[in-house]
Structures are given as structure tokens and as C-alpha cells.
A = this chain, B = another copy of it.
Amino acid sequence: MRYPVETIRKFGSQIFEKAGLSPEDAAVSMDCLLMADLRGMRTHGTTHMKDYCRRVSIGTTAVGVEPEIVETAPSTLTVDAKHTIGMATGLKVMRRCIENAKKTGTCVAAVHNGCHYGLGAYFPMKAAEEGMIGFSFANTPPLVAPFGSAEPLLGTNPISIVIPAGRYPDLVLDMATSVVAKGKISLALKEGKTIPEGWALDKDGAPTTDPAAANVGALVPFGQHKGYALCLIVSLLSFALSGADMDIDIPRFFEETEKITNVGYFMGAIDISKFCPVDVFKSRVDRMFDVIKNSRPAVGFSKVLIPGELEVNMTQKSLEEGIDLSEATLKDFRAMSETYGVEYVF
């Protein structure tokens, strides 16, 4: 069943407030989860509201404290997130990056003691709204084998970059550095299907199409040794600058809700106006997108896409037709409505 975005937003914000978040943090957190749902990234959306609330209720996500943002130089920030809710904290950090970048041209932040921050693209999308190029990286629990290794030592360490366009939607890259997310292995296992070659390794590091073998093995980085390097760099930027945990020490956020997390984020913004007028930049981006969109599709393709284009189409559809909530999510919503005394409206 599909439900209007604003209905879900109002319900979810009330739940987050009753759970203990400030009205502002509740609204931002809900906005970030909804943005994921709208864009079709359901794994980062409202399906996890109950897990965020559970963490708040047992204290593994903190409320009533603010992240400590320290300007160590005009263009660098260090942040102790103090285990506060990731979506709201991520935005606070990005807003400060944007503010500083307006003065110095660019600003980057290294964050430790972070919780899962939801949709990584949410933060650089805010930078793009301000005429900036934004990016955000984070490290995550170990699921991915370094190229040539049999052991899952790296996270699926996502890369999120947004570059503003003019006539076109902004370029939004939001990707795991693994070929696929772990969820796709679990789904194949549940449905009794095989998985394509190139997704995962068994426990000896041999390629496998058996999801059960993959489940006790490891995911592989996208693009072999090249993606491995990027996955590792995301990890180093996220933990080695900030002092967050290494990937192998990060618990699974939604499954091990009783464990405190010390995830690292590395994010920043680059003020385009320090290089050229923003509309000139956007017209250059549009020119490239014209060239790409007007090119001949390859055999087997009907059109050529700009990164993030599919998600813009999905967002428009969801805004018009509502967001499709699963039975499981509705069940969670009903339970939360009782726990927190918020009217169930679905």
C-alpha cells in the first residue's frame, strides 16, 4: 500500500520526538529516511525507524547532547558525534562545512563516535543546494574482502558525491564500494536462488554463486583492484583522520542495537563560486550531460543515464503516488504508535 509522504513524515517525526529527539533532529532524521525511501533506497529508509528508536531507548544512540564541532583551522573541522543520531548530526556537520566554505572556499570534516547516518547523499545534496560540490564518506561493518584476500575486512564503505547541474537534475552518486549490498545475498538465500558470478566469495575466497557460501564468505569490491583501493581509501579517510573504529571493529548497526558504535564520517563542501559563477559551472555541466544524453545507446540499452537520474524519476513517482510501505514496516509503525502514544494513521 502507498501512503502520502507527508502522512509518513508527520507520524515519524512525532515518533522520533516522543523517543526523545529534539523537534529539529526528529524532523531532519525523518527527512533523511524519507529521502532514501523516495529515491528507492528502501534499505536506508523508514524500514529502520524501529531500530533507531530502539537504540535511543537503550541509550546506544544518545539524545539530549549535541555533537562537538571544533574548527581546528579555517577549512578543517573535527567532530565528536557523541553517538548522536547520524542523520541529524551529519547535516549539522555538513551545514558547518558549507558555512566555512563560503569564507575559505572549501572545508572538510572528520567525525568520530558516529552512528549510522542513513542516506549518504542527503548531506552533499544540501551542499549542492547552496551552489557547492558536496561529498560524504563513511566506514561500515566488515563485509568486503580486499582484492586478493579471503577475509571480509572492509566495510561496503559508501561514496556519496553531488555535483549541481542547471537544466538537468544534479548528479547524485550514492554507492557502496562493493559490487552489491549484503542484503542482496540474504534475499537470494531466502528465495532459494543462486547469485550472479562476481558478487561474492566463499570462505576460502573462491568466487561463488551459492548465497549460503557467500553468506559465510565475503562481498567483493566493485571493479576488482580499483574498487578495492577506493573502498580502502574511504575507510582510511573515515577512521584514520578522526580516530573512529576500523571497519573490523564496527558492529552491525541495525542488528546489534545494544552496541555503541564509533563510525567515522569524512565529509566536505567546495564552493563553486570561488572558481567561476555558479551558473557558468552549471551550464558547463549541462553541456556534458547534453552530450551524454544525446549519444547513441549501446546494444541492449534504450537510453543513457546520468548518475542519479533513475532516482529522480522514482522520487517524482513516489511524491505523486505515495511511498509503498511493506507489511513489516506497517507492523513496526503500529507497535511504535502504541509504545510512544502516537496515533496510528495507516
Contact = CB atoms under 8 A, between A and B. Distances in A.
A345 interface: no
B149 A296 contact: yes
Interface in A60-84: 72-76, 78
How many copies the complex holds: the figure is: 2
A225 interface: yes
A3 to B, nearest CB: 30
A131 B328 CA distance: 50
B303 A225 contact: no
Interface stretch (A34-42, A88-96, A285-293): A285-293
A246 B287 contact: yes
B149 A236 contact: no
Interface string A266-286: 001011101110001100110
B150 A272 contact: no
A304 interface: yes
A148 interface: yes
Contacts of A229: 171, 173, 175, 307
A275 B112 CA distance: 11
Interface of A is mostly: mixed
Given A106-B75, A228-B307, A307-B228, A163 B233 contact: yes
B75 A246 contact: no
Contacts of A341: none
A299 B105 contact: no
A190 interface: no
Assign chain A's interface to a size class.
35 or more
Count chain B CB atoms within 10 A of each CB in A73, A206, A295, A300 and give the residue with the most: A73
Contacts of A133: 237
Given A205-B298, A307-B232, A288 B75 contact: no
B173 A206 contact: no
Given A106-B108, A233-B173, A292 B222 contact: no
B275 A76 contact: yes
Interface of A: 72-76, 78, 103-108, 110, 133, 145-151, 153, 161, 163, 171, 173, 175, 201, 204-206, 222-230, 232-233, 235-237, 239-243, 246, 248, 268, 270-272, 274-276, 280-281, 284-285, 287-288, 291-292, 295-301, 303-307
Given A147-B304, A241-B272, 8 more contacts: A72-B274, A149-B298, A153-B291, A205-B300, A222-B227, A239-B284, A239-B288, A243-B276
21 contacts: A74-B103, A104-B104, A106-B108, A146-B295, A146-B304, A148-B298, A148-B301, A149-B297, A149-B298, A150-B295, A204-B298, A222-B224, A223-B224, A223-B227, A228-B307, A236-B284, A236-B288, A240-B284, A240-B288, A243-B280, A246-B284
